[in-house]
A and B are shown apart, each in its own frame.
Chain A
Amino acid sequence: GAGVSQSPSNKVTEKGKDVELRCDPISGHTALYWYRQSLGQGLEFLIYFQGNSAPDKSGLPSDRFSAERTGGSVSTLTIQRTQQEDSAVYLCASSLRRQAEAFFGQGTRLTVV
């Protein structure tokens, strides 16, 4: 593909439901990031995958959040038992290697009602 692709673009869910957000990185990129962008806030780091290393999960706000990256490519961010404070734009980015330019997807706007 031409760039990082995220799906869905928009997701409205009821409080308490689980959601899955998908990220297709640029082919060959070994690093993959998830960030959260809330209204009026900056970019909050969530999780970072680098090659076959153990992911850095230090930014996940609670144990309701988890992410995996299968086969070193597609990544899924899962939020269980969603809360209203989870409403935000979730951004995925990938880079060719560590310390290289990160390319961002268009984001998934999650609204919890």
Chain B
Amino acid sequence: AQRVTQPEKLLSVFKGAPVELKCNYSYSGSPELFWYVQYSRQRLQLLLRHISRESIKGFTADLNKGETSFHLKKPFAQEEDSAMYYCALSGQTDSWGKLQFGAGTQVVVTP
């Protein structure tokens, strides 16, 4: 079965400090990993996905198959990064690609 674990419920960082959100997954196969973000009073939206290898809003995430991790990183946090972040996995065998989310990490960036 597929599972996504985000061990931190809350991350509080100062503006300009680095931030790293941890995500570990359990899946036997080749999953697709995503990070979704929900800003206050806005819809949940895609931040980035591992196959695109992009940097979005300064965030990057590297898929480490050996450690089954997909941590999200940003070298210099900004106040506008305050939001709820969800790591998600889509498998190839379970339910034809069902999207499974972690519990989420609330990020608070203080000036």
Question: Considering residues B32, B44, B86, B90, which has the most beta carbons from chain A within 10 angstroms of its beta carbon?
Answer: B44
What is the distance, in angstroms, from A113's C-beta to the closest C-beta of chain B? 24
Whether B69 sits at the interface, judged by CB under 8 Å, is no
Alpha-carbon separation in the docked complex, A3 to B32 (Å): 23
- Are B98 and A101 in contact, CB atoms less than 8 angstroms apart? no
> Which residue of the partner chain A has the closest CB to B46?
A101
Q: CB within 8 Å of A: which of B43-76?
A: 43-46, 49
Q: Assign chain B's interface to a size class.
A: 20 to 34
Whether A65 sits at the interface, judged by CB under 8 Å, is no
With a cutoff of 8 Å between Cβ atoms, the chain A residues found around residue B95 in the complex are 48, 50, 56, 58
* Interface residues as binary, A73-110 with B (CB distance below 8 Å gives 1, 0 otherwise): 00000000000000000010101011101111111000
- Are B101 and A43 in contact, CB atoms less than 8 angstroms apart? yes
- Are B101 and A99 in contact, CB atoms less than 8 angstroms apart? no
Known contacts A42-B103, A43-B101, A98-B90; A50 and B49 CB within 8 A of each other: no
Alpha-carbon separation in the docked complex, A98 to B104 (Å): 22
Known contacts A35-B101, A42-B104, A48-B95; A99 and B45 CB within 8 A of each other: no
With a cutoff of 8 Å between Cβ atoms, the chain A residues found around residue B90 in the complex are 98-99
With a cutoff of 8 Å between Cβ atoms, the chain A residues found around residue B101 in the complex are 35, 42-43, 45
A-B contact pairs, 17 of them (CB 8 A): A3-B43, A33-B98, A33-B99, A42-B103, A43-B44, A45-B99, A50-B96, A50-B98, A56-B95, A56-B98, A58-B95, A93-B99, A97-B97, A101-B34, A102-B36, A102-B46, A104-B45
Binding site for A on B (CB under 8 A): 32, 34, 36, 43-46, 49, 86, 90, 92, 95-104
